[in-house]
Amino acid sequence: MKKKYQNAFLLFGLVVLALMVSQLNFGEVWAGVQRAGYWFMAVVLLWVVLYLFNTAAWRVIIANIAPDDKHRVGFWWLYKITVTGFALNYATPGGLMGGEPYRIMSLSPKIGTEKASASVLLYAMTHIFSHFWFWLFSVALYVATRPMNVFMSVLLSAVALFCVAAVWLFMKGYRHGIVVSLMGLLRRFPLVKRKAQPFFESRKEQLQNIDRDMTMLRNNNPRSFMLAVALEFACRVVSALEIFFILLVIMPSADYFECILILAFTSLFANMLFFMPLQLGGREGGFLMSAHGLQLSVSAGIFVALLVRLRELIWTAIGLLLIKIDKKS
């Protein structure tokens, strides 16, 4: 990637990060870190492992889309791009507005723009797809481990139906591709039709090639497809250790399965507020709602939300700094 683009991504990310940091109450943050002690270090280091899952899933996709060029994409180089991609996602409204262009621009010199675009879009789909499976798993876990009432029965039924519908739509996209369909949908909107139409006509073959590459994983190599989804799903489940480590500070009897449920409800609520940078307010609200729903104290929910927010800021800063580490392979 050209230096001017690297600098643009870095500058944008640092500006947004500075805005996020300015919203912190430093007294509360320091008190929280002191209280957590070595458990907070465990929370930060846990993400070294979690990003391994993400990188491995993306590399499985690349190996199937660009088998002749996969040797040009080193695992640790891809790990660096993965961390930076997520850092840019955290810092941008919508979650997919900064990281995905950066990934495509970084990967294109190694495997070509079309295959890089297909792999990044397919990985983004797989990342989101795993969330729906995780939420379905959490609904089943709640039913199996928690007492039910009418409200929770209705709520969990709605969540399950939504997730099943989303899984069906994603499977359709995996079989037939989504790029051409999305462009066709954009051409129906008056505000973007004028620009979308010429863009589609001038790049129709490229967009069709991207769709073809995206369908290769699911249609030609279902085992690799399942492996990529399994890696992302495992990442969701293992990431509940973050909440578990934090709760151990204030609740030595913390239960890991409850932490999975807290993570599931929090991420579901936060993703409903996808338009907020770093999902500000969404995660905190989700933690408080989850804590209340699982009979945890409000102070426990606030404590977890504070340390998770600080971990996100630390890894966002690390990801942005990695932009300037120009590791070739």
Angstrom CA distances, 181 to 97, 113, 178, 200, stand at 20, 20, 5, 11
Is 183 within the bounds of a domain? Answer: no
Is 218 within the bounds of a domain? Answer: no
Look up the pTM and report it: 0.85
Separation of first and last alpha carbons in the chain:
13
Cβ neighbors of 117 (< 8 A, separation 6 or more) are 104, 108, 210
Is 162 within the bounds of a domain? Answer: no
Q: What is the pLDDT of residue 275?
A: 44
HSE toward the beta carbon, residue 45, CA cutoff 13 A: 6
Question: Distance between CA atoms of 290 and 213, rounded to whole angstroms?
Answer: 40
Question: Distance between CA atoms of 97 and 115, rounded to whole angstroms?
Answer: 19
Angstrom CA distances, 33 to 16, 25, 159, stand at 23, 12, 35
Higher-confidence residue: 84 or 273?
84
| CA Rg value for the chain | 20
Is 271 within the bounds of a domain? Answer: yes
Is 91 within the bounds of a domain? Answer: yes
Q: Where are the beta strands (DSSP E) in the chain?
A: none
Is 115 within the bounds of a domain? Answer: yes
Is 190 within the bounds of a domain? Answer: no
Contact criterion met (CB below 8 Å) for 242 and 311: yes
Q: What is the pLDDT of residue 176?
A: 75
Is 200 within the bounds of a domain? Answer: no
The Cβ of residue 302 has, within 10 Å, a number of other Cβ atoms equal to 16
Domain that holds residue 69: 3-138+224-322
Structure tokens at 283: 């995660």
Residue pLDDT, tens place only, 153-181: 998 999 999 999 999 988 887 887 777 67
Domain total for the chain? 1
Residue pLDDT, tens place only, 10-23: 777 777 777 767 76
Lowest mean pLDDT among 182-196, 237-251, 276-290: 276-290
